[in-house]
Each structure stands twice: as structure tokens, then as C-alpha cells.
Amino acid sequence: MEREAMEFDVVIVGGGPAGLAAAIRLKQLATEHGHELSVCVLEKGSEIGAHTLSGAVFEPRALDELLPDWKTLGAPLNTPVTEDRFLFLTEKRAFRLPTPPPMHNHGNYIVSLGNVCRWLAQQAEALGVDIYPGFAAAEVLYHPDGSVKGVATGDMGRTKAGEEGANFAPGMELHARQTIFAEGCRGSLTKTLFERFQLRSGVDPQVYGIGIKELWEVKPDQHLEGLVSHTIGWPVDQATYGGSFLYHLENNLVAVGYVLGLNYSNPYLSPFDEMQRFKTHPAIRETFSGGRRVSYGARAISAGGFQSIPKLTFPGGMLVGDTAGFLNLPKIKGSHTAMKSGMTAAEAVFELLRVDDKIGREAVDYPHRLKNSWLWDELYRVRNIKPAFHWGLWVALGYGALDTLVLRGKAPWTFRHTPDHTSLKPAAQCKPIDYPKPDGQLTFDKLSSVFLSNTNHEENQPCHLTLKDAGVPVRLNLAVYAGPEQRYCPAGVYEFVEESGQQSLRINAQNCVHCKTCDIKDPSQNIDWVTPEGGGGPNYPNM
């Protein structure tokens, strides 16, 4: 079938901090040099920010470089961090620990990253960037010489069976001289690029965490605007990598979240229930008493850091932001590095495009520029902190202190990562975890939580959670691992149901909050997350 095509100089896939920073930087350079440059941003969410979920404590370093007058431009960085707390929890008690140096947040701001993106999008549009929310890039297009030609948006209006429905509208081709992939953690197109261009050969596998977040409106007497608090320890054991955040924003809003390393080994573990249980800790629960939960969401994050950074460029395009994996884990921040990578890519792309009109060139200057920037240095220094958690929490904290304070990241060794989907132990070797029942006040079940994420997908469309082998869920996942997808999915998408003695996997794809955990954690990598119809997924406000 013939699809319509549109031509741009640069197409950017994904309207998060990385993609928008790239778009802004490109237009700034074009204006500076008096060049015409058409830049288009595609975003699968129904609007910019709809799929953006982060803590978030925001380090303004990259923003200072991109838009130095962000204050006068009205950037929603309204809450400077006033205090850092770092706590170790046991079941009943909380111990204040010295805040590790990377987690000092003086000069940073507590923000809603979704709102920061909404604002960045306004700045980009004012510079002439075409932003198209509600359109998912579903396919990478190639020139006959194998270089990337652009992307195609997904078809709209296909029925569940894959046929053209009454309102069917075929996808569009967007051709570009350079395509920048800014899909965020575990991008579905990036995954195909990794394979096609062997971008991961010679680097460590990417490792991940899942972050689950709620936004609360708390009683004014429980609110301490500017307070940033992190915990480690309970409710997870010291072999499991996990910790919480609690950020006090403006207007009595508190963001609370739990991040869990996806290299956990007990298939009975449920990140969602750990998050719920965490809130019941005596040192934590008071914050929420009398408050109300106003939003919920979840998203995977790339945690591999330096040794997992793939080759970033290929003929016709490149990777920026968390789809490449620039998160600084000890800092638990990635939006400043995401933005910096987008800006750096933009500078390399602009240099490339102003020289000539050749298609399919590779912006090799982008990784060079990145290696000479603060981003590279920052990630290099902290590269051994996350892998040290392999030895458990206490060793890791000790090593972290040694590495940060004494070695200053200059140790002559680099620890390696192993992929998260290989870490599950058979259920028979593990103890089931008995999670407390939700009380409906402080703790909740998955469905009422997903309800608050404003998630929706057109019901009559092909399932976007595809299985390579439909037999694997029952044969392997259920038989050996007790069906871990029922527990790691924070949105209740996966359910094993029994009908006349036969177990089968039901996939409630409409609930999917696009966190990508299933694509990462499925033991045999049988689940392939592909983009649903554009506009589907969560509609996060203020997340």
C-alpha cells in the first residue's frame, strides 16, 4: 500500500527532554547561521508530557546551556531543593545516613518533568519546530543503501484482527536527512536499530530499573516545600536493589515513588506491592494521612550507565537520551544528561547538514563531542557504583563511598553488567511474598491506580504487546517462574486465567502505561512491545 510521505531535514522520534532539547538546539543554530531547517518531533502520547514520568529532582545544568534565560521564559522550575534527607529503613525504624555526595541537591529543583516538557515544547514551537503529538513512530524506513531514511507513523483504525476498519487511516512516511531517536528507555524502534546496526556489540548489556510513582495532595501540616528525601533498605532485602523518593513540590503536592532494579531474582516479587508497602512505614505514612492520591504511573529507566552506552550513530541517524542510556544512577538523574545528549547531537547534525545535501551520512562527530563534554566525564566517574550492588546493599554503599570519595571514579577497573531477564530464579527455589491487602486510603490495588493514570487505548486495535511464541507464557513463565508478568507489570496488563482446567495468559493491553518492563524482564524475551495507535497510553498530568 502506498503511504503519503512528508520531507523534513530532521525528524525526531519522541517529545521528551532529549528530543525537545535537540529540536530547540537545531533551530537555534539554524537561526544563528541564517539556515532554513525543517525539524519535526513525533510523540506517541496524546500531548507532550502525557507519557513523561519522572521523580523529579532536576539539575538545570543542561537547561542553563540551552536556554540561559529560562527563568524569564517561565520555565516551571518553581521549587528549589531546600533539604536532602537520606534514610535507611528497617521494618519499624528509620536511620538517618549521611547523604552520599552525588545525591546533594543544592541548586536543583523539584519539578514535574511532564510540565517541563510541556514548556520546552512551547519554546520549540516558538522557534518553528513542528510538533506532532498523538502520532507514534512505528517503523524505521531505510534507503536502498541501508541508511536510515526516516520513520513511518502507525496505521490508525485497524481492527483487533488487523483489518482496515471504517475510519482506517494509513500511516505516514516521514523522510529526513537525519533521524534522531529520542524514544526514552527501551525504545521500540531503537531495539530494532541495535540489531540492524549491531550498536551494542562490545558494550555491556543495558540494565534497568522500574520506577513507580504517585502524586499526592497532602495536608498542609505534612508539607515541607523543597524537601527531598530518599530511603534504602526495607521493604526489600539487602540483595535487592531498591529505594524510594519523596519530593515535596509546591501547592501541597508530594511525589512519592519507588525504584526497583529489574535484576531482582525472586519471581514472586511485585514492584507495585513493594511501593504500596513502602508507604506504610512508620516514618513515612504520616506524610499521607488525610491526603489524597491524585495521580499514578510507572516507567522503566536505564541504569547501566557508562559501560552500557551503545554505539550512538549509524548512517542517517543517531540515538539520544535514555533510549541510549545516559542516566546517572548514583545521582538518580537523567534528564540533564538526556538534554545534553540531544543538544550535542543537534550540534553535530547541524554541522553535517550545512555542509551538503547527501543523504544517509553518519554524524560521527556527535559521539566525539559527547566524549569531550561534561556528560561523559560525569558518567565515567560513577560507572562502578551500580554494579557494586551485585554484592548487596552494604558492600555497595561502602564501595560507593570509597569510589566517590577516595578513588573519585578513577579506579583502573570497570565492573560489568548482566542482562536483567536472566536474573530470575525458578519459583521452586524462591519464597512467595505475602503482601498486605490495600486499605484504599494509603495503599491501593493496581486497577484503581491505573485508573488515575488516565490510561486509554482504542479498544478495537491489534494488541501492541506481541508474543513471539504464544505458548511460552504458560509453558515457561507460569510453569517455571509462577507467571512473573502478573507481578512485574505495574498496570495489571497480564493475567493468567483458568478456563476448564486450562491456563492461559490474558493481555489487557488497554491498561498499558507504556513502562516497557515486560519487554525488559520477560525471562525468554518473548514479549515485544510495539507502539499502539498514536494518542493511546497514559495521560499523565503533572508527573
Partner 1 sequence: MKILVAVKRAIDYNVKARPKSDGSGVELANVKMSMNPFDEIAIEEAIRLQEAGKAQEILAVSIGSAQCQETLRTAMAMGADRGILVQTDEEVQPLAVAKLLQALVNKEQPGLVILGKQAIDDDSNQTGQMLAGLLGWAQGTFAAKLDVQSETLEVKREVDGGLQTLSLKLPAVVTADLRLNEPRYVKLPNIMKAKKKPLDIVTPSELGVDISPRLKLVKAAEPAARAGGVKVADVQELVAKLRNEAKVI
Query: Distance (Å, rounded) from C-alpha 398 to C-alpha 242?
Result: 16
Q: Are 42 and 132 in contact (CB under 8 A)?
A: yes
> What H or E segment, with its residue span, contains residue 88?
strand 83-89
CB of 332 to partner 1, least distance (A): 23
Return the range that interacts with partner 1 (CB under 8 A); candidates 153-161, 268-276, 410-418, 490-498: 153-161
Interacting positions 383-412 with partner 1 (CB under 8 A): none
* 201 binding partner 1? (CB under 8 A): no
* 6 binding partner 1? (CB under 8 A): yes
| Pick 252 or 423: Cβ nearer partner 1 | 252
Interacting positions 445-504 with partner 1 (CB under 8 A): 451-452, 454-456
> What H or E segment, with its residue span, contains residue 63?
helix 61-66
| Pick 155 or 522: Cβ nearer partner 1 | 155
| Pick 213 or 311: Cβ nearer partner 1 | 213
Instruction: Give the CA dihedral 59, 450, 519, 329, nearest 10 degrees.
Output: 20
Query: Distance (Å, rounded) from C-alpha 390 to C-alpha 264?
Result: 10
Which position among 88, 132, 391, 415 is part of the footprint of partner 1 (CB under 8 A)?
A: 132
Which position among 79, 108, 153, 270 is part of the footprint of partner 1 (CB under 8 A)?
A: 153
CB of 172 to partner 1, least distance (A): 5
| Pick 120 or 388: Cβ nearer partner 1 | 120
Interacting positions 71-130 with partner 1 (CB under 8 A): 112, 114-115, 118, 130
* 15 binding partner 1? (CB under 8 A): no
| Pick 108 or 461: Cβ nearer partner 1 | 461
| Pick 370 or 452: Cβ nearer partner 1 | 452
Query: Distance (Å, rounded) from C-alpha 277 to C-alpha 170?
Result: 45
Which position among 226, 392, 492, 541 is part of the footprint of partner 1 (CB under 8 A)?
A: 541
Residue type, 317: G
| Pick 410 or 437: Cβ nearer partner 1 | 437
CB of 455 to partner 1, least distance (A): 7
End-to-end, the C-alpha distance of the chain in Å comes to 39
Interacting positions 40-69 with partner 1 (CB under 8 A): 46-47, 49-50
Which position among 122, 222, 252, 524 is part of the footprint of partner 1 (CB under 8 A)?
A: 252
Q: Can you name the residues that pair with 257 across neighbouring β-strands? A: 213, 245
Which position among 58, 70, 135, 245 is part of the footprint of partner 1 (CB under 8 A)?
A: 135
Query: Distance (Å, rounded) from C-alpha 284 to C-alpha 92?
Result: 11
| Pick 149 or 487: Cβ nearer partner 1 | 149
Grid cell 513525533 is found at 42
Instruction: Give the CA dihedral 421, 423, 426, 428, nearest 10 degrees.
Output: -140
Interacting positions 209-238 with partner 1 (CB under 8 A): 217
Query: Distance (Å, rounded) from C-alpha 377 to C-alpha 409?
Result: 9
Cell representation of residue 479? 510453569
Number of H helices, E strands in the chain: 14, 24
Measured CA distances, 532 to 46, 162, 323, 455, 502 (Å): 12, 12, 18, 13, 29
Residue count of the chain: 543
The residues, any chain, with a CB within 8 Å of residue 48's CB and separated by 6 or more, are: 15, 20, 117, 118, 120, 121, 131, 133
Grid cell 512491545 is found at 529
| Pick 153 or 231: Cβ nearer partner 1 | 153
- The 263-302 contact track toward partner 1, x by CB under 8 A, reads -------------------------------x--------
Which position among 73, 169, 402, 405 is part of the footprint of partner 1 (CB under 8 A)?
A: 169
Return the range that interacts with partner 1 (CB under 8 A); candidates 169-177, 200-208, 228-236, 509-517: 169-177
Return the range that interacts with partner 1 (CB under 8 A); candidates 165-173, 187-195, 278-286, 417-425: 165-173
Grid cell 502525557 is found at 50
Q: Can you name the residues that pair with 88 across neighbouring β-strands? A: 95, 232
Please tell me the count of residues contacting partner 1 according to CB under 8 A.
Answer: 33
Cell representation of residue 72? 524569564
CB of 218 to partner 1, least distance (A): 10
DSSP structure class, residue 438:
P
* 138 binding partner 1? (CB under 8 A): no
* 157 binding partner 1? (CB under 8 A): yes
| Pick 276 or 542: Cβ nearer partner 1 | 542
What share of residues in the chain are helix, strand, coil (percent, to 5)?
A: 30, 25, 45
Cell representation of residue 29? 543554530
Binding site for partner 1 (CB under 8 A): 4, 6, 46-47, 49-50, 112, 114-115, 118, 130, 132, 134-135, 153, 156-157, 166-167, 169, 172, 174, 217, 252, 294, 451-452, 454-456, 539, 541-542
